[in-house]
Amino acid sequence: MTERFNVAVVGAGYWGPNLARNFAASPDWNLAVVCDLDLQRAQQVSDRVGGVPVSQSLDDVLADPAIDAIAVATPARTHHPIVMAALDAGKHVSVEKPLADTVDRGAEMVDRARANDLVLLTDHTYCYTPAVMKIRELIADGSLGDILFIDSVRINLGLIQPDVDVLWDLAPHDLSIIDFVLPGGIDAATVAAHGADPLHTGKACVGYLTLPLAGGAIAHVHVNWLSPTKIRQMVIGGTKRTLVWDDLNPQQRLSVYDRGVDIAEQSKVTTTDARAANISYRLGDTWSPALPEQEALSNMTAEFAASIREKRTARTDGASGLRVLSVLEAAKSSLGAGGAPHPVQNTTIERVS
């Protein structure tokens, strides 16, 4: 029988209960403790998962030699001190998105995990959904061809956050998905961000990101807290096929369209004016891949355990979290400059397959 690891969930607010439930149900983990400064809130989470111990003291949790790992579900501004303390205590760490509140702090966390030979997993939850894992597979095996564009929309009548704008709240989901499905991760050198605060909340409530990608492709992300309709959709266009992911359509989350624009190879070589090239339109079949019914967080906990057991980096490791964080930080600078493109740092951080 495979040995179980002992994990502590740190943070019993919005996301902590979901982590606790999935770790408690996992065959790879023993949920050893729920830790939160609010002991009553920690106890409420504990009661839902069978009554595990609770603690107010992170120091006590990290000092316990029986604890193998911690799962951090606290505000982004607290990630750096918590994760650094856990890594220094020899604990493996999964941390809620975004990885940190600045690129410099995120990079320090990634470096410390590598130096201590510990797993640092960024909980990019959507990357563990069957739909997104299938998208990654289809791109990797060439089913879509070369990627031409990615268009992502994530809008709803959402909770206006007091400490972050809509880009930092919602765009990490879309950016982490793009990073996960593209071979090599996000390779944008610049990002242009536009936002609006029509309610005068002090933070952008509507936001748009534009990222030119290598090879002439482009990615666009639209996020919005103010929409009365909820849309979670991503369109990925390739030279062979186009894929549409509709996360709110459980009957057909993925649709692959064998449709597109073809330019004759001979025409591209012999025609100096691209507009006069021999263009044809391909109208083929549409199909929907079958997807297993699996909870994303269940897959995440399994991957966390497997990466520890196999002594390898996780699918969504600290480096992937840092690439996403780099785009967010550049977007913040672009937003402050009225939408002018801003360089993305750390784009050379490679993804380990």
Structural domains present in the chain:
5-124+296-325 (3.40.50.720), 127-292 (3.30.360.10)
Contact 95, 121 (CB under 8 A): yes
Q: What is the pLDDT of residues 13-43, one digit of tens each?
A: 999 999 999 999 999 999 999 999 999 999 9
* CB neighbours of residue 44 within 10 Å: 15
Give the whole-angstrom CA distance, residue 223 versus residue 169: 9
Give the whole-angstrom CA distance, residue 40 versus residue 57: 14
Rounded to 5 degrees, what angle do the CA atoms 75, 112, 168 make? Answer: 30
* CB neighbours of residue 275 within 10 Å: 6
| Residue 184 confidence (pLDDT) | 83
| Residue 352 confidence (pLDDT) | 43
DSSP state of 298: H
Query: Is the model's pLDDT at 351 over the cut of 50?
Result: no
pTM above 0.85, yes or no: yes
Q: How would DSSP label each residue in 216-280?
A: G-EEEEEEESEEEEEEEEEEEEESS-EEEEETT-TT-SEEEEEEEEEE-HHHHHH-SSGGGS-EE
Greatest alpha-carbon span in the chain: 73
Question: What's the token pair of residue 125?
Answer: 């939850």
Give the whole-angstrom CA distance, residue 8 versus residue 142: 40
| Residue 187 confidence (pLDDT) | 87
Give the whole-angstrom CA distance, residue 350 versus residue 139: 18
Q: By three-state DSSP, how is residue 194 classified?
A: strand
pLDDT tier for residue 217 given thresholds of 50, 70 and 90: very high
How much is the mean pLDDT over the chain? 92
Contact 296, 126 (CB under 8 A): yes
